[in-house]
């Protein structure tokens, strides 16, 4: 009899726990936000994007100058090769060998400049964008706490395959960041990581 009472109490406690958990989870608020879109609407992102575009343009011009130098030397080599004859063969071959070495050196410089440019852009991107990401995340967290959300899903991350219901807190986050309701995202000049 005592065992039956203990068993009954155990079942009753388990039922209360399950029902309590279900009612608690039913009361939890779920919201969603497109963090990437908000990120690209911030004034700081536009400024950072402009700086990254300028840096990218500068690096591109530097590389274009090197490509032009390479192309000019390549054309010189082709011209010398076309005009080569038995009479000037030794002289032209020596010039072609020198041009070949110069072309190799330019190729190596181009590769090095490309590598350094990518590193510089990556560092600058991280330096400029990380504080903006932190600011947006802090705003999302603040809105979630103010509004009593248990979960906020980021619809821009691609990990949310389906959502229905919940509340879109994007407008509240934009307001917290001082972004106007009709602002549009800025297209990144350099792909973000």
The per-residue pLDDT for range 153-177, each reduced to its tens digit, is 888 887 655 555 678 888 888 888 9
> How many domains does one find in the chain?
1
Under 8 Å between Cβ of 128 and 52: yes
Residue 148, domain member (yes or no): yes
Residue 147, domain member (yes or no): yes
> Alpha-carbon distance 166 to 33, whole Å?
10
> Alpha-carbon distance 139 to 146, whole Å?
10
The phi and psi torsions of 183 (rounded to 5 degrees) equal: -65, 150
> Alpha-carbon distance 78 to 100, whole Å?
11
- Residue-range definition of the domain harbouring residue 150: 2-177
- Report pTM: 0.68
Under 8 Å between Cβ of 106 and 66: yes
Share of the chain above pLDDT 90, in %: 48
């Amino acid at each position: 009899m005592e065992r039956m009472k203990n068993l009954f109490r155990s079942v009753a406690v388990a039922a209360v726990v399950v029902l309590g958990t279900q009612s608690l989870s039913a009361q939890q608020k779920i919201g969603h936000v497109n963090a990437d879109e908000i990120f690209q609407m911030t004034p700081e992102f536009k400024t950072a994007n402009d700086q990254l575009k300028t840096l990218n343009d500068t690096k591109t011009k530097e590389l274009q100058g090197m490509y032009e130098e390479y192309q000019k030397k390549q054309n010189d080599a082709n011209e010398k090769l076309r005009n080569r004859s038995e009479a000037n063969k030794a002289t032209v071959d020596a010039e072609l060998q020198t041009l070949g070495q110069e072309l190799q050196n330019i190729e190596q410089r181009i590769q090095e400049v490309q590598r350094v440019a990518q590193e510089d852009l990556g560092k600058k991107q991280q330096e400029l964008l990380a504080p903006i990401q932190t600011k947006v995340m802090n705003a999302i967290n603040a809105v979630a706490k103010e509004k009593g959300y248990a979960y906020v899903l980021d619809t821009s991350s691609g990990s949310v395959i389906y959502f229905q219901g919940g509340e879109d807190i994007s407008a509240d986050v934009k307001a917290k960041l001082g972004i106007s309701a009709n602002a549009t995202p800025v297209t990144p000049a350099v792909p973000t990581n």
